[in-house]
């Protein structure tokens, strides 16, 4: 095996530090937070995070400008794409019931620096999302009062004309964020109670919209005279799906709350499925009603639902819709303010972010410092930034998190579980413990040897060996028995899980390359048709080969918690969709993303890498085990010593026997 030169040893050590994995506690239900959330609480949190301003604003915008009445199909496609990502979050939330969501999932499977960058971007996403919803909430309320709040602020307080900043300070948006942060700091039960109230009102208004809307529906609004059902064709439906996808990004609040759930193994997957199903159904039915009440060409993108009822002569219905819209935006605000401090807390608890944010209030059992500080930062953003400038930066961090979580599901599914360094026999203080039985492998060999003596013909022995191979259970991350005769020569020397990790990298690289060619190959790069086709075929083959290489390996089979179905197909498709949507974002978004990543790297290398608890754990003595020696007098002596390799166990046992004999003889004297 080739050895690394001495000059590159520091670089190797640095790479090991950057890619170290988080060590999970044996009791993952232990927490300094309060486990009090039920399945209903988590479901309403998820519904509140998804069904917000998008239902009242996004439906009209996509219907008028992108897809027409076929926005219904766009929401179906977007709901399916979100379901793939939600499956991955549900598995991790049930398997690792710790707060931190995508940050935590990446830390336990991919590596430290990647987890930090995911958490760093999710922090910004939540801050921008909360500030944007607060400004939308303020603008919607201001429009009800005929822009009286804006006019008063510009006339009597101040206004400015600065690029990317609002024309006036939005005191109402900042105030609602500070007030919401104040309430959330009282504890998770207060947050859940407020979310219950707003979600109940919002769902009641949605039911009213559906019932009254279908009464007013006119099928002629889908006729050819009005442009038909899909006036923009399949391209419009797909473009609408890319936009509608962002309406579902709030479901990760469920995974962020898993450390405060009573029974996360059951509640997280169930709440994720129910909330996503309810949100998708609401978006599809409301889009149907909206495009049937009035012609889709005449929709008002800013307040489509309320304006539709006003134009049909039911102004009182428009007021009810406006109330429902404000309540729905409140639930999204609560979801953002609920999940953001917990991600900050998880990073600070691991030592990657400032320890000030890891402090939990002993009475309310919530990270109050993180809630108040980031609530004020969010309020400041809502105060001075323009809504459009905020929304432009939204979603890239979320899509990146979805991609890493999907990759983490594949890596962990095919990764052998690490065995504990402490054996039960060596740590048990029970002096009457039975000696460990003969290893099953040795028994099998002995039994097989005796059994093979009874077979005299060579063909009978071959049949016995073949039957043993069929009954043999392959280890996790190893080739399946069926594929071993064909691929063992090529992949047999690899460590368990090594080929899968390489294949996941192949999936990501081929997805980026394939989507880049599809998105930029014809227009921006102006590739000739033969070159465009060849690149599509090459990258598609690389993607398919990566999927096949993962599939031919043995996965973990865990029936205790929820597992994503059809692995690696489900997370593989999620990676492809997320990458495609990321490449459709504007170049300004990528520039801002790069700047934010650079700031995050400064924070990590200036603070996180030096205070990481995993790094501190590496410096501590490890592989220490307690051994208990029973002397003939009946006294129990505890000794702590390094765990010996298998070859040195006998010598270690002799040393212990000699020491105990010496102590016993000294005691008799």
Using the predicted structure, report yes or no on whether residue 654 has a pLDDT greater than 80: no
Asked if 412 and 374 touch (Cβ cutoff 8 Å), the reply is no
In whole angstroms, what is the distance from residue 102 CA to residue 252 CA?
8
Asked if 390 and 588 touch (Cβ cutoff 8 Å), the reply is no
Q: 34: helix, coil or strand?
A: coil
CA nearest neighbour of 259 among 21, 39, 94: 94
In whole angstroms, what is the distance from residue 666 CA to residue 661 CA?
9
How many other CB atoms are found less than 10 A from the CB of residue 260?
Answer: 25
Residue 424 CB contacts under 8 Å (≥ 6 apart), including other chains = none
How many other CB atoms are found less than 10 A from the CB of residue 572?
Answer: 27
**Mean pLDDT, rounded, for 278-289:** 94
User: How confident is the model over 47-57, as pLDDT tens digits?
Assistant: 998 988 778 87
**Mean pLDDT, rounded, for 598-624:** 86
Asked if 107 and 346 touch (Cβ cutoff 8 Å), the reply is no
Q: Which residue has the higher pLDDT, 513 or 34?
A: 513
Q: Which residue has the tokens 């998708």?
A: 280
User: How confident is the model over 302-358, as pLDDT tens digits?
Assistant: 778 888 888 888 888 888 988 888 899 899 999 989 999 999 999 999 999 999 999
Band the pLDDT of 61: cuts 50, 70, 90: confident
In whole angstroms, what is the distance from residue 232 CA to residue 324 CA?
30
Q: What is the pLDDT of residue 28?
A: 77
Q: Which residue has the higher pLDDT, 183 or 648?
A: 183
Give me the percent of the chain exceeding a pLDDT of 70. 81
How many other CB atoms are found less than 10 A from the CB of residue 17?
Answer: 16
Q: What is the pLDDT of residue 640?
A: 46
Q: Which residue has the tokens 């929304």?
A: 391
Residue 438 class from Cβ within 10 Å (0-12 exposed, 13-18 middle, 19+ buried)?
exposed
Which stretches does DSSP call E strand in 240-385?
Answer: none
User: How confident is the model over 157-180, as pLDDT tens digits?
Assistant: 887 777 767 778 889 999 999 999
Band the pLDDT of 622: cuts 50, 70, 90: low
**Mean pLDDT, rounded, for 370-380:** 94
- DSSP state, 478? S
Band the pLDDT of 433: cuts 50, 70, 90: very low
* Structure tokens that stand for 76 in this block: 């179906």
pTM over 0.85: no
Residue 236 CB contacts under 8 Å (≥ 6 apart), including other chains = 66, 67, 68, 70, 230
Band the pLDDT of 459: cuts 50, 70, 90: low
Using the predicted structure, report yes or no on whether residue 510 has a pLDDT greater than 90: yes
In whole angstroms, what is the distance from residue 560 CA to residue 554 CA?
18
In whole angstroms, what is the distance from residue 321 CA to residue 311 CA?
13
Q: Which residue has the tokens 């207060």?
A: 190
In the Cβ-directed half-sphere of 189, how many Cα atoms lie within 13 Å? 7
Number of residues that make up the chain = 669
Using the predicted structure, report yes or no on whether residue 462 has a pLDDT greater than 80: no
Among 245-254, 383-392, 413-422, 580-589, the minimum mean pLDDT is found in 413-422
**Mean pLDDT, rounded, for 376-405:** 83
Q: 37: helix, coil or strand?
A: strand
**Mean pLDDT, rounded, for 599-623:** 87
* Cα-to-chain-centroid distance, residue 280: 19
Band the pLDDT of 11: cuts 50, 70, 90: confident
Return the bridge partners of 244, or none: none
CA nearest neighbour of 552 among 480, 493, 499, 491: 480
Q: What is the pLDDT of residue 493?
A: 82
Peptide bond into 568 cis (omega under 30): yes
Give me the percent of the chain exceeding a pLDDT of 90. 41
Asked if 178 and 379 touch (Cβ cutoff 8 Å), the reply is yes
Give the best-scoring range by mean pLDDT among 221-235, 249-263, 433-447, 502-516.
Answer: 502-516
Using the predicted structure, report yes or no on whether residue 488 has a pLDDT greater than 50: yes
Write a three-state SS string for 600-668.
HHHHHHHHHHHHCHHHHHHHCCCCEEEEEEECCCCCEEEEEEECCCHHHHHHHHHHHHHHHHHHHHHHH
Residue 20 CB contacts under 8 Å (≥ 6 apart), including other chains = 111, 112, 612, 614, 615, 618
CA max distance for the chain: 110
Q: What is the pLDDT of residue 155?
A: 82
Residue 187 phi/psi, 5-degree rounding, is 130, 165
Residue 436 CB contacts under 8 Å (≥ 6 apart), including other chains = 425
Residue 493 phi/psi, 5-degree rounding, is -85, -5
Where does 58-216 have alpha helices with state H? 59-62, 71-95, 102-107, 112-144, 148-152, 171-184, 188-215
Q: Which residue has the higher pLDDT, 400 or 560?
A: 400
Mean pLDDT for all residues in the chain: 82
Q: Which residue has the higher pLDDT, 631 or 320?
A: 320
Q: What is the pLDDT of residue 468?
A: 52
In whole angstroms, what is the distance from residue 260 CA to residue 41 CA?
11
* Structure tokens that stand for 664 in this block: 């016993």
In whole angstroms, what is the distance from residue 541 CA to residue 535 CA?
10
Using the predicted structure, report yes or no on whether residue 669 has a pLDDT greater than 50: no
Return the bridge partners of 642, or none: 624
DSSP per-residue string spanning 344-395 = HHHHHHTTSS-GGGG---TTT-S-HHHHHHHHHHHHHHHHHB-HHHHHHTTT
Q: What is the pLDDT of residue 6?
A: 66
* Sign, Cα dihedral of 486, 490, 492, 495: negative
């Amino acid at each position: 095996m080739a050895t690394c030169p001495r000059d590159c040893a520091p670089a190797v050590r640095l790479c090991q530090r950057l890619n170290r994995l988080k060590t999970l506690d044996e009791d993952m239900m232990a927490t300094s937070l309060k486990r009090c959330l039920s399945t209903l609480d988590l479901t309403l949190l998820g519904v509140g995070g998804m069904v917000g301003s998008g239902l009242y604003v996004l439906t009209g915008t996509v219907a008028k400008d992108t897809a027409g009445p076929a926005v219904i199909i766009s929401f179906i496609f977007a709901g399916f794409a979100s379901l793939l990502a939600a499956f991955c979050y549900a598995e991790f939330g049930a398997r690792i019931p710790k707060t931190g969501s995508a940050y935590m999932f990446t830390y336990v499977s991919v590596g430290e620096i990647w987890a930090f960058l995911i958490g760093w971007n999710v922090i910004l996403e939540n801050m921008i999302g909360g500030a944007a919803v607060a400004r939308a909430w303020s603008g919607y309320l201001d429009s009800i009062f005929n822009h009286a709040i804006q006019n008063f602020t510009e006339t009597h307080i101040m206004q400015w004309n600065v690029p990317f900043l609002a024309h006036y300070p939005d005191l109402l948006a900042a105030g609602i964020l500070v007030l919401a942060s104040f309430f959330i700091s009282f504890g998770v039960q207060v947050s859940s109670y407020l979310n219950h109230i707003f979600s109940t009102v919002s769902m009641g208004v949605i039911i009213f919209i559906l019932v009254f809307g279908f009464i007013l529906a006119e099928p002629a609004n889908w006729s050819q005279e009005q442009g038909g059902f899909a006036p923009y064709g399949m391209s419009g439906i797909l473009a609408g799906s890319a936009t509608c996808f962002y309406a579902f990004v709030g479901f990760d609040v469920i995974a962020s709350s898993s450390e405060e759930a009573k029974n996360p193994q059951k509640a997280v997957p169930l709440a994720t499925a129910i909330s996503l199903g309810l949100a998708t159904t609401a978006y599809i039915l409301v889009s149907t009603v909206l495009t049937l009440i009035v012609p889709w060409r005449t929709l008002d993108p800013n307040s489509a639902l309320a304006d539709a009822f006003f134009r049909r002569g039911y102004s009182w219905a428009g007021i009810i819709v406006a109330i429902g819209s404000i309540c729905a935006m409140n639930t999204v605000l609560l979801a953002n303010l609920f999940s953001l401090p917990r991600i900050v807390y998880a990073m600070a608890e691991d030592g990657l972010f400032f320890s000030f944010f890891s402090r939990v209030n002993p009475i309310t059992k919530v990270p109050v410092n993180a809630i108040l500080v980031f609530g004020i930062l969010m309020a400041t953003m809502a105060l001075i930034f323009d809504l459009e400038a905020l929304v432009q930066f939204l979603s890239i961090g979320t899509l990146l998190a979805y991609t890493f979580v999907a990759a983490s599901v594949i890596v962990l599914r095919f990764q052998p579980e690490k065995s504990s360094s402490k054996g039960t026999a060596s740590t048990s203080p029970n002096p009457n413990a039975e000696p460990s039985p003969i290893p099953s492998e040795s028994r099998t060999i002995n039994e097989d040897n005796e059994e093979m003596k009874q077979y005299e013909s060579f063909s009978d022995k071959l049949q016995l060996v073949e039957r043993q191979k069929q009954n043999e259970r392959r280890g996790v991350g190893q080739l399946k028995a069926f594929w071993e005769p064909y691929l063992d020569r090529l992949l047999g020397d690899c460590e368990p899980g090594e080929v899968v990790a390489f294949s996941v990298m192949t999936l990501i690289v081929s997805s980026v390359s394939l989507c880049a060619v599809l998105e930029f190959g014809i227009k921006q790069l102006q590739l000739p048709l033969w070159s465009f086709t060849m690149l599509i075929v090459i990258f598609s083959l690389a993607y398919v080969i990566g999927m096949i290489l993962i599939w031919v390996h043995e996965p973990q089979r865990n029936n205790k918690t929820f597992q994503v179905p059809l692995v690696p197909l489900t997370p593989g498709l999620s990676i492809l969709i997320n990458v495609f949507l990321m490449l459709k974002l504007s170049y300004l978004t990528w520039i801002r993303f790069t700047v934010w990543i650079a700031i995050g790297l400064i924070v990590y290398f200036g603070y996180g890498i030096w205070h990481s608890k995993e790094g501190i754990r590496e410096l501590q003595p490890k592989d220490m085990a307690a051994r208990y020696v029973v002397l003939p007098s009946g006294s129990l002596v505890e000794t702590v010593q390094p765990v010996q390799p298998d070859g040195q166990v006998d010598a270690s046992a002799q040393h212990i026997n000699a020491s105990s004999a010496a102590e016993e003889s000294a005691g008799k004297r």
